[in-house]
Structure 1
Amino acid sequence: MPHGQLLVERLREAGFAVDKVEAATGGVVAVAGLITLQDGRQVFAKTLRGPETDVFAVESTGLAELRAGGGVNTPQVLCASPRLLVLERMRPRRDAPDFWEQLAHMVAALHTSTVTDRFGWHRDGWLGRMRQDNTWETDGHTFFAERRILRWLPEPLVEAAFDPADRRALERLCTALPELVPSQPPCLTHGDLWRENILATGDGAPVLIDPAVSCTWPEVDLSMLWCSPRPPAAERFFAAYREIAGLQEGWEERMPLLHLRELLSTIAHGDDDWGAAEAVRKTIAPFRRSGGG
């Protein structure tokens, strides 16, 4: 079924009177579009091909928790069902220093106001098309090792991308995490905080979409922005965040390590066409032993 037709069919099933569909770009998982309704309103909608899952219920819950628990601007959810998610329309962001500074204030407030004593979340989530294991854990190094790095190694495309020496190096890195990452209390995190998930409200304020929430180290959110391509104006985000929330010494050096989850997920999804596997190998290189053992 063509892209627009599938979305229109599911919108009409949910009671939305559709006038026009403009296909959305940038996403790799959902069939999505900007929808003009017959009453003139515009909304954003997406659906998935294949079996029904709880992906939209999890996304809706994550958006609500970011808003209620952390004061984050998120779109209003108009419909969340196993077949369809409909959100209020957001606007493109402005890539100006003042916008990124506003975002820093919002993310810092999220991280500092939601500090807790456990890592995980009350339900598993999704990262793209794959489950995100959010089982509760009291130790952050164990949580990050088992739920965010080693969890990806059995995925077929990850197995194919790395040889046994690479996998042993990843395991050694996980063992060394207590020496590499200083202890930090967990907080509620967006979980997929890269530039494409940052939009703007009608009045230009930052708004976040497409979360993969969990309670974990706040630096995990920062690593998504730091290690993904970003506009020059985004440098103001890191300076402002540091002024507001503070950052422990060596945070820049930890960014590639904390980004491993995203790189491994990219490979597992079959999207490694920009060098994710090589980026992983660069990060784990200090943990390879001579002779590959």
Structure 2
Amino acid sequence: MSTPFQSPPGTPEILVERLREAGYAAEAVEEATGGVVAVAGLVTLEGGAQVFAKTILGPDSDVFTVESAGLAELRSRGGVNTPDILCVSPRLLVLERMRPRRDEEHFWEQLAHMVAALHMSTVTERFGWHRDGWLGRMRQDNTWETDGHAFFAERRILRWLPEPLVEAAFDREERRALERLCASLPELIPPQPPCLTHGDLWQENIVATGDGAPVLIDPAVSYTWPEADLSMLWCSPRPAVAERFFAVYREIAGLQDGWEARMPVLHLRELLSTIAHGDDDWGAAEAVREIARPFRTRPAEPARPER
């Protein structure tokens, strides 16, 4: 069971203070919204330069060192555009400023080329990573495993069931249905070699350089099935033009038949994480029930009276 971070209040003062401690003189902070872990924002420094910075409250942790290591690995091993890391400590992460993306076909085609190259160039033999990571405020178990179905079952689905809010969301039979689904993963997901994945590839983690090229931020990296990355983008809100991403990715990297039908199963990790973080007001629990419904046991039929 995970111990979540303390939820930060919506105030940038602590961020300004910790920037000052690290040698950055902040003149203004445009606070970012939507995050669940950090106090973050676009910071204007004395002299006019801008950086993106974030801090967390509560005890020091390795969340920023893990994030920076993930960004570095995506760039060095996978050729992914990521922000330059300007400062990292247990309390502070300072990154190169990026720009909002422009949702045009060319952008999503570029992104497809970048993600396909990441997946195709980093194929390996083991699932996991050399250290555990974070997904939101909670630990991501990246213990090495040679069996991809066992890895996804234990580290990405069943790992969430003991979390208090997940326990409260599902009854015993619903949890057993998820366990049966996990036992059936070899029949649901065809064998695929692991590769380096971003791990949290939805639209809010896709931004752009100054000249408009795609950039990935806020990773939860591990070596796992490439379709796990695709499921995050497929099943999360996305602009209509993002359909071009899947068409181009399929042309470059290929996808095994039935990939669209597998996306919801691979998205279970995100749905369960959403519930565990207390953010289920948009229906994540019902989505989990629908995915697991075929694995519920059927009630016994009543005996027919003899004639």
TM-score bracket relative to the smaller structure: over 0.9
Moved over 6 A (4+): none
Given residue 284 of structure 2, which amino acid in structure 1 is its aligned partner?
A
Q: Partner residue of 2:38?
A: 30
TM alignment of 1:97-246, pairs within 5 A:
97-246=105-254
| Equivalent residue for 2:48, pick from 40, 48, 67 | 40
Unaligned runs of 5+ in 1: none
Q: Partner residue of 2:99?
A: 91
Normalised TM-score (structure 2): 0.94
Q: Distance in 2 between matches of 1:2 and 1:105?
A: 37
Q: Partner residue of 1:12?
A: 20
* Identity value in percent: 80
Given residue 176 of structure 1, which amino acid in structure 2 is its aligned partner?
S
Q: Partner residue of 1:266?
A: 274
Asked if the contact 2:123/2:193 (under 8 Å) is kept, the reply is: yes
Q: Distance in 2 between matches of 1:276 and 1:50?
A: 28
Q: Partner residue of 2:6?
A: none
Asked if the contact 2:148/2:224 (under 8 Å) is kept, the reply is: yes
**Residue by residue, what CA displacement relative to the aligned partner does 1:218-247 show, whole Å, maximum 9, x if unpaired?**
000000000001001000000000000000
Given residue 177 of structure 1, which amino acid in structure 2 is its aligned partner?
L
CA drift of 1:101 comes to: 0.5
Q: Distance in 2 between matches of 1:240 and 1:145?
A: 29
Asked if the contact 2:53/2:92 (under 8 Å) is kept, the reply is: yes
CA drift of 1:291 comes to: 2.8
Q: Partner residue of 1:290?
A: 298
Q: Distance in 1 between matches of 2:206 and 2:94?
A: 17
Given residue 209 of structure 1, which amino acid in structure 2 is its aligned partner?
I
**Residue by residue, what CA displacement relative to the aligned partner does 1:72-94 show, whole Å, maximum 9, x if unpaired?**
00000001100000000000001
Q: Distance in 2 between matches of 1:86 and 1:72?
A: 19
Asked if the contact 2:10/2:39 (under 8 Å) is kept, the reply is: no
Given residue 216 of structure 1, which amino acid in structure 2 is its aligned partner?
T
Given residue 18 of structure 1, which amino acid in structure 2 is its aligned partner?
A
Q: Distance in 1 between matches of 2:53 and 2:266?
A: 31
CA drift of 1:28 comes to: 2.1
TM alignment of 1:50-69, pairs within 5 A:
50-69=58-77
Q: Distance in 2 between matches of 1:63 and 1:48?
A: 18
Q: Distance in 1 between matches of 2:299 and 2:86?
A: 57
CA drift of 1:26 comes to: 2.2
Q: Distance in 2 between matches of 1:127 and 1:66?
A: 17
Q: Distance in 2 between matches of 1:79 and 1:291?
A: 58
CA drift of 1:2 comes to: 6.5
Q: Which has the larger radius of gyration?
A: 2
**Residue by residue, what CA displacement relative to the aligned partner does 1:243-272 show, whole Å, maximum 9, x if unpaired?**
000000000000000000000000000011
User: How many residues are aligned here?
Assistant: 292
**Residue by residue, what CA displacement relative to the aligned partner does 1:87-108 show, whole Å, maximum 9, x if unpaired?**
0000000111110010000000
Say if 1:47 and 1:290 are closer, same or farther in 2 by CA, change over 3 A.
same
Q: Partner residue of 2:4?
A: none
